[in-house]
Structure 1
């Protein structure tokens, strides 16, 4: 059974009620997974935190793995939607990347996000498909959106990039340089506004040195 489906032996519920109940369960699961980790969490604890019976929990999710997968996909997709709202036709590349880099680093440094990353890393060795789901739902979607923006800017002559997918990865890695590593190891606190501003400015400097337009190349 697909992890996002309702068990077939139970009658379908009203869409609105069903959606609300599913969100209620996912919120309870998020609390338990963050507090206990994947291995330490149990379906009983999740049902209690969500305020539902174990029977109701299993109507929506067939296993702890299915629930974790659904939570991962929903949270990472939501994060990608928030961080990667990019107007493909916006010609001000520096401003677009400044806003994106600031939003990206702010969200990546959120303590709950760091806890989620640690949790997935801890579970990935035993359940590698969960690591893949996490990666595809978040980083891959963000890189794809940024790649699409770069494709437009290369076509307009505002950037000079041979592989826009690699360039998208480069920019995001430059933004989080030094920050994510220390946070994953619980060294220091989340980045300050000043630190974020400095990281993004440095990322832009290196990015445009590598991928900036050739003199007179812009066709805007």
Structure 2
């Protein structure tokens, strides 16, 4: 069965939407594949044709949240000036904090973190779908910027951690662990964050 036709994409979205709703309402452990198929209006055979099980569905749910951010598109084409790179990083910081500090996204992240503590099979899926993906796209951007002489970041993966970590601190500290609904960081705050990061990767770069 091909999964790249309009009908197949619609069916995947139908299953994913039902799973997302049930995960948020009942939690991962209490949501059965029977409940998902019933809510989606599909058979188990159809569900397993698109997703191998609940862990993959939960991973796909968070991946869908990141798809809405269009991270790859934000970093392409490769920036040709340091100011363009600065603008891309600032756009990334705005997009990530704005989307992931939304109440629905925070509820999903809390669910994922809580369930991952008790369900080992989720840990790798969660890491690949969320933090690893953020780090990967950022590392690719920094690697290209380094190759173009815009910055000095010979270890792009480490530099990506130095940028993504502070950005995600707003989601973790002000979002996941806050008793009240947080506000996204301001333009001034994120601009300062980006500028401080760029100071760490400009030594040795071509002016």
In which range does the TM-score fall when normalised by the shorter chain? 0.7 to 0.9
Counterparts of 1:210 and 1:14, CA distance in 2: 42
| Post-superposition CA distance 1:181-213 (Å, at most 9, x none) | 231124322424xx2323312312321232224
C-alpha displacement of 1:69? 4.1
TM alignment of 1:1-220, pairs within 5 A: 15-53=5-43, 56-57=46-47, 60-61=50-51, 63-72=53-62, 74-75=63-64, 78-79=67-68, 82-84=70-72, 85-86=74-75, 87-91=77-81, 92-192=84-184, 195-214=185-204, 217-218=205-206
Which structure 1 segments of 5+ residues have no match? 1-5, 7-11
C-alpha displacement of 1:101? 1.4
| Kept in 1: contact 2:94–2:190 (CA 8 A) | yes
Counterparts of 1:187 and 1:202, CA distance in 2: 26
Counterparts of 1:154 and 1:14, CA distance in 2: 35
Q: Compute the TM-score of the two structures, normalised by the length of structure 2.
A: 0.80
C-alpha displacement of 1:115? 1.9
| Kept in 1: contact 2:71–2:92 (CA 8 A) | yes
| Kept in 2: contact 1:83–1:104 (CA 8 A) | no
Counterparts of 1:157 and 1:62, CA distance in 2: 44
Query: Residues 36 and 90 (structure 1 numbering): CA distance in 2 closer, same or farther, change over 3 Å?
Result: farther
Give the secondary structure class of the aligned counterpart of 2:118: coil
**Structure of larger gyration radius:** 1
Q: Compute the TM-score of the two structures, normalised by the length of structure 1.
A: 0.76
| Kept in 1: contact 2:135–2:161 (CA 8 A) | yes
Which stretch shows the higher mean deviation, 101-110 or 169-178?
A: 169-178
Which structure 2 segments of 5+ residues have no match? none
Equivalenced residue count is: 203
Which stretch shows the higher mean deviation, 129-138 or 94-103?
A: 129-138
| Kept in 1: contact 2:90–2:194 (CA 8 A) | yes
Query: Residues 95 and 19 (structure 1 numbering): CA distance in 2 closer, same or farther, change over 3 Å?
Result: closer
Counterpart position of 1:9: none
Query: Residues 64 and 145 (structure 1 numbering): CA distance in 2 closer, same or farther, change over 3 Å?
Result: closer
CA RMSD, Structure 1 to Structure 2 (Å): 2.9
